[in-house]
Structure 1
Amino acid sequence: MTKQLPALFREKMIDLLGENEFEQFLKSYDQPRTFGLRVNTVKVEKADFLAKSPFALSAVPWASEGFYYEEGERPGKHPYYHAGLYYIQEPSAMAPVELLQVRPGERVLDLCAAPGGKSTQIAAKLQSEGVLVVNDIHSDRVKALVKNLELLGVRNAIVLNEKPERMLKVFQGYFDKILIDAPCSGEGMFRKEEEMMHQWERHSVQEFASMQRELLGQAAQMLAPGGMIVYSTCTFSPEENEAQIAEFLDKHPAFDVVPVEGFGAGRPDWLRAPWCEEEFSDRAREAVAGTARLWPHRLRGEGHFVAVLRRDGATVEGDAGSAGDARDAGRAADVVSASGKRSGREALRKGRAETSTRAAVSLEPLEAFSVELLRSEPFAAERLVCYGEHAYASPAGLPELHGLKVVRPGWYIGSLHRGRFEPSHALAMGLRMREAKRALSLASRDERALRYLKGETLEVAESEIIRDPEVTKAAKGYCLVCIEDHPVGWGKWHDGMLKNEYPPGWRWT
């Protein structure tokens, strides 16, 4: 591996690190890769997962739900993965969200979100309370983002495929926390993906620096007073790291760096030619020392840069919708949908909601499904939004999203078509088994669990269907299929057979 490192990269790192530390850095490329997973506490408590984990795990020191696993393990080939109990994630990539200090009920933006590792980590911190807006400019990558959010049972996310500058008017001063896991030259990925070395040689560091500069400026406008931005990259380049933060601080005096402890410190001494030609204030240079560098030769991870930026609590001109105004507007909007609908609870009671084109659509089939299958209405406290025949539960407190490219306006509930309601796979994955009146729970070692994940029809005795004690009617119809009490999809039971409703694109191969 070390022989394949680009010559210009080697020369740069020698200049930055010095000969002695560069030798230590270089040796890390010949060490085994590190592998990690993060327990998804949206679906399972950490202690409960550890009690039944089939893998040999050791804790990632900087991530409360993060664990290392050995290279021979195959967590992606276990039924627990398909139940969304964990997300496979490189250990150092878990640090930015931990430093974002997300709390339940907050409004959080993941600005460059695909494929969704950090988005799902934020969702676990929110615990289905508050609003999570995730965005990615690349339409081809948004599909993976949506799938990962659904797999991990996230209920309160809005998915956008939008240019950040187009989001400014809608979300001016709206968010409590913003994550910018910025596009970068990817030098920290060289050991994990050798293709990144070839891309590094084809793309200019300055090209990425220009994008990062814009993202930081745009995020600052969407942050509420007193809010926090975490900026991160997986590269070692000071042009994309310390220089970005120093320039941002000089342009935005309302922001300060919150010093990060426990990792290598940022390097203000690297703000020099030939890597950084700009002049920065003494304040900015000193603050950069409070940023963090995760080095692969100092810890078990591939490498990251992280800066925590806090905005002061003052409201300035241009903070439209920030602070109290945005929250008051959000509360007022709770009783209507993004297109003027009543709240979910009221809409179900009235039996109709408007679609995005203002045409009425009957919610009676959804209400009937809810009465028959669900012990509660997990989406009724939210705002039901219908786009055509597709129903979503949109988090309360959202501003109007008109004009934005919305991929998912909330938790996808299902489709209403010709007087019938078909529940979505996302609904199944977001439910808890206790919320369903009919459920089947299979042990992970039951061969039927694997057969279900492959899309096969199962033989299931009626006595195996777990039903609400108050329900006396037969088990016929939709049934929430679970693996050890954790939902994985729908089935339709009739006369000893369970018809498989697991989506073809999700099936075990």
Structure 2
Amino acid sequence: MSSKLPAAFVEKMNDLLGTDQIEPFMASYDQPRAFGIRVNTAKISIEDFKQCATFAIQPVPWAPEGFYYEEGVRPGKHPYYHAGLYYIQEPSAMAPVQLLDVKPGERVLDLCAAPGGKSTQIAAKLQGEGVLVVNDNHSDRVKALVKNLELFGVRNAVVLNEKPERMIPVFRGYFDKILIDGPCSGEGMFRKEEDMMSSWERHSVEQCSLMQRELLVQAAQMLAPGGRIVYSTCTFSPEENEAQIAAFLDGHEEFEVVPVRDFEPGRPDWLRAPWVDPCAFSPRAVEAVAGTARLWPHRLKGEGHFAAVLRRAPASAGRAADERPAAAAAQPPAAGKRSGREALRQGKGRAEPPRAAVSLEPLRAFEKELLRGEPYGAAQLVCYGEHAYASPAGLPELHGLKVVRPGWYIGALHRGRFEPSHALAMGLRMSEAKRALSFAIQDGRALRYLKGETLEVAESEIVRDPAGSGSAKGYCLVGIDGHPVGWGKWNDGMLKNEYPPGWRWT
């Protein structure tokens, strides 16, 4: 494959790497690719996954949840994939979220999120606590983002389709952690996607650099004092990597680079390369970029990445109270306290004329019949039209923004009945359903369910809550080996399949 690389790219890398490194770098393109999956620890522990994995896996050194698998294995064609137990992800792409150091309960933004690989990785680290806001300004890419979040069973995510500058007034100083996996020239994707080579010369490095610089400046305004930004790309060009960090540091004295020790360091000497903007960087900025990280395809099993960890200085005691105005303004009432203060917000993320409130009685009846405990936690129940969502607590008002999902999608209230969503099923645990049915993976009905077929199911197979009605009739949560995959409706020995057509096994 090395013979297919663009000549201009080869010449540039030769100048950057020099004679001692260019040969192994070029040779890496003729080596087999590394394939990876990342375990969804919000649904299954790493140890339990190792026990049930049906194909050989080897650990990815820099990601505890990551594993290599062999070429030829098709993990996307397995029931466990449809249960959201893992995400198929290029191994080096797992590093940025690991460096973000997400903790449960934090407020996290994935600014350039589609198709959602890193978003689902963040969600697993949050363990259902805190707030995850994911955004992508390309409307055609947001559908894949939503689907992956639903597949992973994420309960506390808000999905936006916005330009970052429009988000700043709403989220100024709001987030503890921000990931910027910036749009880039994609030089690290050549081996994975060969069509990237043909588009590389048309995909301007200069244009990408301008977008990246804007994203860093915009993200900085949404970060809380003491917070952390991880900026990453899948390209090798210093213009999009070290130069971006140096320029940002020179414009933002309140930020510093947190040195990354687990990978090869960034290259301060490349700030003098002829491709870099000739403006002079300060000695502080030049020295700091040595703390960034480069993942090289000839040094590890992965396609390559760049990452920088940026930390904002903590606020002084006198300023701390007014640094996060958006968060302070919008603590909603807890959904668990279902008084008359429940939110019945209308609209689609933009201000609209008031409509008549949708009755929640069908939803309440469904909850009483099917759900145990408080699966929504402290989330606030909101309605956009006929659609009900559990919106994360502490979220500021989103009026004026393009909101694709204001939270966990619960289902639709339509003509006096409630239809639970597939997202609700994927976000529940089997123990949270009063009626449940779990097929063993060896049971042929597991695959037939994923294909959308109506199934014969004996009444004795439906697990029911002893404190409930005792009836097996109606909705039940369907799982495979104890992991939810969707809904079914049981009646008189038959299970009507509620698995969405667009998700079905083909």
**Structure 2 letter corresponding to 1:345:** G
C-alpha distance 348-449 of structure 1, shift in aligned 2 (>3 A): farther
Corresponding position of 2:493:
496
Moved more, 356-365 or 188-197: 356-365
Mapping of residues 43-82 of structure 1, within 5 Å: 43-82=43-82
Q: C-alpha distance in 2, partners of 1:317/1:34?
A: 51
Corresponding position of 1:338:
none
Mapping of residues 300-311 of structure 1, within 5 Å: 300-311=301-312
Q: Percent of aligned positions with the same letter in both sequences?
A: 75
* 1:464 corresponds to 2:461: yes
Mapping of residues 211-222 of structure 1, within 5 Å: 211-222=211-222
Corresponding position of 1:334:
332
**Structure 1 letter corresponding to 2:397:** E
Q: C-alpha distance in 2, partners of 1:501/1:248?
A: 50
Indicate the SS of the match to 2:358.
strand
Indicate the SS of the match to 1:98.
helix
C-alpha distance 486-349 of structure 1, shift in aligned 2 (>3 A): farther
Could you tell me which runs of 5 or more consecutive residues in structure 1 were left unpaired when the two chains were aligned: 336-342
Mapping of residues 144-183 of structure 1, within 5 Å: 144-183=144-183
Mapping of residues 124-273 of structure 1, within 5 Å: 124-273=124-273
**Structure 1 letter corresponding to 2:309:** V
Answer yes or no: is the 8 Å Cα contact 1:257–1:309 preserved in 2: yes
Corresponding position of 2:351:
none
1:274, distance to aligned residue in structure 2 (A): 1.1
**Structure 2 letter corresponding to 1:201:** E
The two structures, once aligned, show a CA RMSD in angstroms of 1.7
Q: C-alpha distance in 1, partners of 2:187/2:116?
A: 20
C-alpha distance 321-457 of structure 1, shift in aligned 2 (>3 A): farther
* 1:436 corresponds to 2:437: no
C-alpha distance 318-506 of structure 1, shift in aligned 2 (>3 A): farther
C-alpha distance 480-185 of structure 1, shift in aligned 2 (>3 A): same
Mapping of residues 397-476 of structure 1, within 5 Å: 397-476=394-473
Corresponding position of 2:390:
393
**Structure 2 letter corresponding to 1:300:** K
From 477, 481, 485, the equivalent of 1:484 is: 481
Q: C-alpha distance in 2, partners of 1:472/1:435?
A: 16
Could you tell me which runs of 5 or more consecutive residues in structure 2 were left unpaired when the two chains were aligned: 348-353
1:204, distance to aligned residue in structure 2 (A): 1.2
CA shift digits 1:449-488 (9 cap, x unpaired): 0000000000000000011122343200001000011000
Q: C-alpha distance in 1, partners of 2:271/2:341?
A: 62
CA shift digits 1:92-144 (9 cap, x unpaired): 00000000000000000000000000000000000000000000010000000
**Structure 1 letter corresponding to 2:303:** E
Answer yes or no: is the 8 Å Cα contact 1:136–1:142 preserved in 2: yes
Q: C-alpha distance in 1, partners of 2:291/2:249?
A: 13
Moved more, 176-185 or 467-476: 467-476
Indicate the SS of the match to 2:76.
helix
C-alpha distance 272-166 of structure 1, shift in aligned 2 (>3 A): same
**Structure 2 letter corresponding to 1:143:** K
1:391, distance to aligned residue in structure 2 (A): 0.2
Q: C-alpha distance in 2, partners of 1:242/1:317?
A: 34
Answer yes or no: is the 8 Å Cα contact 1:82–1:151 preserved in 2: yes
Mapping of residues 23-38 of structure 1, within 5 Å: 23-38=23-38
Mapping of residues 252-401 of structure 1, within 5 Å: 252-276=252-276, 277-314=278-315, 322-323=323-324, 325-330=325-330, 333-335=331-333, 343-347=334-338, 353-356=344-347, 357=354, 359-379=356-376, 381-401=378-398
Corresponding position of 1:339:
none
1:359, distance to aligned residue in structure 2 (A): 2.8
Answer yes or no: is the 8 Å Cα contact 2:435–2:462 preserved in 1: yes
Q: C-alpha distance in 2, partners of 1:403/1:471?
A: 43
Q: C-alpha distance in 2, partners of 1:327/1:211?
A: 27
Corresponding position of 1:98:
98
Moved more, 65-74 or 285-294: 65-74
**Structure 1 letter corresponding to 2:458:** A
TM-score (norm 2): 0.96
